[in-house]
Structure 1
Amino acid sequence: MKVFSNTETFNYSWEEVSTANWRKYCPWNDKSTHVLAVDTISRTVDPETGILRTERLITCKQSMPEILKKILGAGMEDQQVFETSYVDPKQRTVTMVSENITWNNLLNVQETVVYRPLNDHQTSFEQAAKITALCGGWQKIKNSMEDALVKRFRDNAARGKEGFEAVLAMSRRVFAEEQQREKMMLIQAQAVNIRMAA
């Protein structure tokens, strides 16, 4: 088993990050074009804790590690990942736990991501992935597969941050535009009320 870990800081509030997280795979994130579909399977809120629990199936197109291509004779594949997320409004955390479904009899990848506030204007991102090749006693092949995926996680980390930064910036602009529209509608409604009262 190999472990990949990464931490980042986003210069956005936890509220902005936890909201934008649902838009992470939107069309304006050109760093996530490999994501083909995100299907929500279930969504529930615990009445006692207020925790929002969401299960999603994420389908993406990714090339397999070279070592797996040689073993399986496969190349670019549609792959599926099962994700369970927990948004805790009291503790102000978003925790996402995901695991691959595709090829999980050969390779198991369990990833955990946690967003939590550092202060009113910054949010920390903590990522950890456990990568386990399940190839019986072939230690050299197991190590090659695990190393390849650790490298992929490392390579994707910077791209992922850059893409999410774009989503956060767009979300902030959209939110500001919505607030401006609401303010204008309120001003117009007040002007109508004043005219009607006169």
Structure 2
Amino acid sequence: MKIWTSEHVFNHSWEKVVQAAWRKYPNPMNPAVIGTDVIDRKVDNGILQTHRLVTSEWGLPLWARKIIGPSGICYASERSEVNPKQRKMKLQTRNLSFGSLVAVDEKITYEPHPDDSSKTLLKQEAVVTVQGVPLCSYVENLLTNNISYNASKGRQAIEWVIGKIESEMTDIKNSAMKNKYLRSYR
């Protein structure tokens, strides 16, 4: 078993980061994620609870395909809670593919930074367990390094989505101002 942890501070409000987290996929930083499908969504005591199926396509090396099969399509179950009152978003993801050989359990939280509420603190943890294949420790290290690399791309994707949202808002504002201007001259 290998445990990986990370923290990152976004220079954006919690509300903006959470909005971007919902729109994170697809993104050009991580084209491996090809889809997210909502399985269940409900509000319980003011907390938005969502269960999604995440579909990824990995270009697995030949040696890995020989061990786990030819398909590069992988699935994961993501359960999330958004508590707007406490300003906290929690995500828990577990791989469904290759579960008898590889277990990756990831936990992510987004909260306002404790020292500056205009910023958002991201905490990530992944527990990787490999069993039943040769060189388990080596494979765990390989997967953990991949998680670290993908986490960096995930943070870049959040920034990309925030930029996209801000651009959309500017376009909407400009369109509204243009329409208002045109109406005043009719």
Aligned to 1:83: 78
State the match for 2:39 in structure 1: 41
Please give the per-residue CA displacement for 1:70-119, whole angstroms capped at 9, x wherever unaligned. Answer: 53464x61000100010000110111100000000111000011111123
Shift in CA distance, 3/92, structure 1 to aligned 2, threshold 3 Å: same
Is contact 1:67-1:145 (8 Å) kept? Answer: no
Q: Is the 8 A contact 1:5 1:128 kept in 2?
A: yes
1:186, 1:97 → 2: CA distance? Answer: 45
Amino acid at match of 1:6: S
Equivalenced residue count is 184
Amino acid at match of 1:77: G
Residue 145 of structure 2 corresponds to residue 151 of structure 1: yes
CA radius of gyration, larger in: 1
Contact 2:8–2:122, Cα closer than 8 Å, also in 1:
yes
Displacement of 1:164: 1.9
- In the alignment, the residues of structure 1 paired with residue 63 and residue 122 of structure 2 have an alpha-carbon distance, to the nearest angstrom, of 31
> Retained in 2: the 8 A contact 1:80–1:100?
yes
1:19 counterpart residue number: 19
1:144 deviation in Å? 1.6
Tell me if structure 2 keeps the 8 A contact 1:87–1:93. yes
Residue 141 of structure 1: how far off its partner (Å): 1.9
Structure 2 spans left out of the alignment, 5+ residues: none
Counterparts in 2 of 1:182 and 1:116: CA distance versus 1, 3 Å: farther
TM-score, normalised by the number of residues in structure 2: 0.87
2:126 alignment partner AA = A
Instruction: Percent identity, please.
Output: 30
Q: TM-score, normalised by structure 1?
A: 0.82
* Counterpart secondary structure, 2:97: coil
Opposite residue 76 of structure 2, the aligned amino acid is V
Query: Match for residue 31 of structure 1?
Result: 29
State the alpha-carbon separation in 1 of the partners of residues 99 and 89 from structure 2: 25
Contact 1:68 1:145 in 2 (8 A): no
Q: Where does 1:25-174 land on structure 2 (aligned, <5 Å)?
A: 25-26=25-26, 29-46=27-44, 48=45, 50-64=46-60, 68-72=64-68, 74=70, 77-118=72-113, 119-135=116-132, 141-174=135-168
**Structure 2 CA distance for partners of 1:73 and 1:20, relative to 1, 3 Å:** closer
Structure 1: state its 5+ residue gaps. Answer: none
User: Once the 2 structures are TM-superposed, how far is the Cα of residue 12 of structure 1 from its aligned partner?
Assistant: 1.1
- 1:63 is paired with a residue whose SS is coil
Whole-angstrom distance in 1 between the partners of 2:61 and 2:112 = 35
